[in-house]
Amino acid sequence: MTTTVNLTNEILTALAEVNGAASFDEKTIVDETLTETTYLIVDNVDDLRVTNDAAISNSMHLPPVRILMIAYLNYAHLLANKVEKSKALRIAAVRAGIVANGGLMCDDDLKTKYTYRPEIKTIEPPAGFAMRKADDEYEEREVEVTDPNNPELKVKTIKKVVTKRGLLTFSTPADHSDFLSSYQALDKEEIQRMIKYLPIFAHMAFTKFEHHYIDNDYFRASYEKQFRSLKLNNLVSTWNHANVIYPCIHWMGPYVMKQWCINLAARQLMPRPMAIKFPVIPAGTALICSTFAVLKAAAAIPGFNAFYEVYRLQWTSITEAVRDIKKNPYAYHTRADLFGEKSLEADLSASKDHAAALAPAAQAFINKYAANTDLARIMAIKKHAEANLGLMRRYETIFAGNATQARAEARHKTIYEMIKGATSPAARAPGVAETFEEEAS
């Protein structure tokens, strides 16, 4: 019973370390195509872009009318490109809010920092658009003020006092006449949450999967987990769509999204359910990190320490690699350049080979103890395990104890001794796993 409880906890820990990247295979994902609905639209960038990392995810204190104008320009552009009205309104509101909170960092060519193609466009407001603030209304009143030459003396004077603030007059083309009322009717708290959280969600997705949102079931499920972790279940049906989230945030670029998260965490504004998921295991390292997580979970099996002795070279290699990856995950990402990092991915070459050598044992553990969990979806492990079926089957018999040989051995051998006998270190080159022929049933 103790072993079962320990294994359950260790499998949960392994799942947390894999962190949603289980079935991702970067080689099956095609490059993203930019469309008109992807671009952020502004009238100019001079008063909107930030120039230093510290300003990202911090309020720029833009006048409300400026934020409203950004929202309207994006709304009009999205409608013109056939985006459904309610989606266009929400996307526009989130974009404007992200800009207002220091989410726009670009050069004069409108390329976001460390990206290679512009996703920002400047346009003139459409014909029929106008906005102005009506004059404030004043009233002359007699008030008492302190005499500057005698602080103890109060004197009466006539002063102009604002009695009514001038209201914003916002005129739109006739076909957008309902924009202002629709915008004001948005759930402000909901929009504020999406302004803050969507860049976090998207950053985590890009770090794990090398893409922000591909329109498929796997990405939808991954994002849904993020919504639910923040108890935003009621927003899933409205917001969790590729054609909503992607255009809301893609123009920010990976570097700005990363810094958005870093700054929120530094100011202790990162929600705890999100904060505990960092550092995120980067795309390109799934084989190493997943194999490490699974085999570390197997340590709960009495006698499994023999495995770490038999495969000391490989285990040490991937353990050290995971440590380095967690120190700076962005440098080991398949697109380290988009994070402004010099790629260290090549440094993992030997550790990837060592992880591949351990994959059969990791997959055998999954098959026996975690077949109904997300660990069973780790394609990186499965691919390499199936390339050495004999060794995988051997470990399955050790874990299951139900094959003829395993049962026979189990009469007089511990699992420690059985693992020791699963390989013949002296008969192979150092660091190379022995291949076993699959036993006849």
Using an 8 Å Cβ cutoff, are 112 and 119 in contact?
yes
Q: Which long-range contacts (CB under 8 A, 24 or more apart) does 324-328 make?
A: 325/281, 325/282, 325/285, 325/288, 325/289, 326/279
What are the tens digits of pLDDT across the range 285-327?
999 999 999 999 888 887 888 899 889 999 999 999 999 999 9
Using an 8 Å Cβ cutoff, are 18 and 373 in contact?
no
Sign of CA dihedral 331, 332, 337, 338: negative
Residue 259 pLDDT > 50: yes
Q: What is the mean pLDDT of the chain?
A: 84
What are the tens digits of pLDDT across the range 365-423?
999 988 888 788 888 899 899 898 988 988 888 887 543 444 444 444 556 666 665 55
Q: What is the pLDDT of residue 335?
A: 93
Using an 8 Å Cβ cutoff, are 56 and 102 in contact?
yes
What are the tens digits of pLDDT across the range 57-97?
999 999 888 898 899 999 999 999 999 999 999 999 999 99
The CA–CA distances, whole Å, from 262 to 2, 78, 339 equal: 40, 30, 13
Nearest 5 degrees, angle CA 89-CA 104-CA 251?
60
Phi, psi dihedrals of residue 126, rounded to the nearest 5°: -65, 160
Nearest 5 degrees, angle CA 155-CA 156-CA 158?
140
What are the tens digits of pLDDT across the range 218-249?
899 999 999 999 999 999 999 999 999 999 99
pTM passes above 0.85: no
Q: What is the pLDDT of residue 296?
A: 92
The stretches of 210-285 forming alpha helices (DSSP H) are 217-229, 236-239, 242-249, 254-266, 272-275
Name the residue ranges covered by the structural domains of the chain: 2-21+281-427, 30-128+174-275, 133-169
Determine how β-strand 40-42 pairs with β-strand 137-147.
Answer: unpaired
